[in-house]
Amino acid sequence: MPMPLWWGQINKRVFNPRELKKGDRPVLTHVGRSSRKVYQTPVDAHRVDGGYLFILVYGSKSDWVQNILAAGSATLRINGQETQLTKPRLLNKEEAWTRVDPETKEPPNFLRISEFLQMDEAS
């Protein structure tokens, strides 16, 4: 089981705005499932063949993941460059770790992360 969703709610309201202000982390822009509001979420983005992999610290039930799965797309901004992403899909740890650079550090075991999101670059 990943980090509890209640901690994700605190993170979303307290720490994410600070990270967005700093501007040094990758940011996913996505649309709310029912509100249709545009959201920005700072993330850890790992380059993989044809796209990016995201570590789901709070699991696949977090709002931003559910928004992206529902919409089928998002925009990733890294160092001022924007990339359109499509085809979101959930992966387990074994699948995910075969796709990243071998030098990428795995999340610590105590975080109990078992789900990952992969998206392809739009052509």
- Label residue 22 by pLDDT band (50, 70, 90): confident
Q: What is the DSSP letter of 111?
A: G
Q: Are strands 115-121 and 81-92 parallel, antiparallel or unpaired?
A: antiparallel
Of the candidates 41, 54, 42, the residue with the CA atom closest to the CA atom of residue 100: 54
CATH topology of domain 5-121: Pnp Oxidase; Chain A (2.30.110)
Confidence band of 12 (pLDDT split at 50, 70, 90): low
Q: 98 near 104, Cβ under 8 Å?
A: no
Among 60, 75, 61, residue whose Cα is nearest residue 121: 75
The rounded distance, in Å, linking the Cα atoms of 8 and 56 is: 11
**Least reliable range by pLDDT among 53-57, 78-82, 100-104:** 100-104
Burial, 18: exposed, middle or buried (Cβ in 10 Å; 0-12, 13-18, 19+)?
Answer: exposed
Mean pLDDT over 90-118 rounds to 85
pLDDT, one tens digit per residue, over 49-62 is 999 999 998 889 88
Does residue 89 carry a pLDDT above 90?
yes
pLDDT score recorded for residue 14: 57
DSSP 68-96: HHHHSEEEEEETTEEEEEEEEEEEEHHHH
User: What's the CA gap between 75 and 83, in Å, rounded?
Assistant: 6
Domain ranges of the chain: 5-121
